[in-house]
Amino acid sequence: MILERINNGQDGVAEWFYDFFEAKLQGVNLESLETRLNCLNKILLILGEFDLFTPKKVVINHEKLKESVSIDVKNGKNTLDLRDYFDSNGIEFIEGTHLSIYGSSVIHLVNQHEVLDGVFVILYTGAGINLMTDSDAWLEYDLEGNDQKKSAAINAKRLKSALEEIEQQLGFEPVYDHSKYAYVHKYELKNYFEDDGTPQVMI
């Protein structure tokens, strides 16, 4: 199940925030900007290696644009080099640029898999990178309380492995907290339960 995302300010099933201030990556010089962009590229690359995210659309905002620019990604790859992408599309990547990246993900079910849109949304600002999942595929019970332990075991392992690799490549941990939909124990998600032990129905 995937939550309908009406705006990027709403709660996801879980969120991980890679804080540039905590990682001492803030600054207005070109080197700092390129370093932050490289962090985003690493996240995209690793998620792509695990078939967790294939970019399909990038929405760009910054002070030099009168309105946001939305560009479809049509490279047929499961990752995206943002520097090449900006250069090839004539886009100036400057301080104050905000990016919203949307795409598709491979989600494993019992004896099959599906390619689904909306599993992740990735937001980039000068403050950091917010990786949000709107999917309950990582939980033993879906948000309606249905048992999905077999598929969740596969998907949750992929998610944890990808996020651990991102942490290793970036050299710092993300900020995270429990959400209204799940307990978030770093890179593992757990359901909320009623007093009688049944999983809470969240929607």
d(CA 94, CA 65): 11
Whether residue 29 is predicted with pLDDT greater than 60 in this model: the reply is: yes
Average pLDDT over residues 52-64: 88
> Does any domain span residue 7?
no
**Sorting pLDDT into bands at 50, 70 and 90, what band is 3?**
confident
Average pLDDT over residues 99-120: 93
Residue 92 and residue 122 in contact, taking contact as beta carbons nearer than 8 Å: no
- Which token pair is 200? 């809470």
> Does any domain span residue 179?
yes
Q: List, in order, residues 6 or more apart from 16 with CB less than 8 Å away.
A: 130, 131, 163, 174, 175, 176
Location of structure tokens 């080197």: 31
Average pLDDT over residues 112-116: 93
> Does any domain span residue 5?
no
- pLDDT computed for residue 30 by the predictor: 64
Location of structure tokens 């710092």: 172
The 10 Å CB-count burial string (b at 16+, else e) for 100-134 is bbbbbbbbbeeeeeeeeebbbbbbbebebbbbbbb
- pLDDT computed for residue 169 by the predictor: 96
Burial class (CB in 10 A: 0-12, 13-18, 19+), 64: exposed
d(CA 145, CA 18): 31
pLDDT digits (tens, 9 = 90+) for 123-140: 999 899 999 999 999 999
Longest CA pairwise span in the chain (Å):
58
Which contiguous run of DSSP H or E holds residue 83?
Answer: helix 82-88
In total, how many domains does the chain have?
Answer: 1
pLDDT digits (tens, 9 = 90+) for 158-186: 999 999 999 999 999 999 999 999 999 99
> Does any domain span residue 201?
no
- pLDDT computed for residue 131 by the predictor: 97
Tell me the residue range of the domain where 138 lies: 14-190
Average pLDDT over residues 101-120: 93
3 or 124, higher pLDDT: 124
> Does any domain span residue 83?
yes
Q: What is the pTM of this model?
A: 0.90
> Does any domain span residue 173?
yes
* Percent of the chain's residues with pLDDT above 70: 94
Average pLDDT over residues 40-61: 93
> Does any domain span residue 197?
no
Average pLDDT over residues 24-39: 79
- Which token pair is 21? 């201030």
d(CA 184, CA 187): 7
> Does any domain span residue 136?
yes
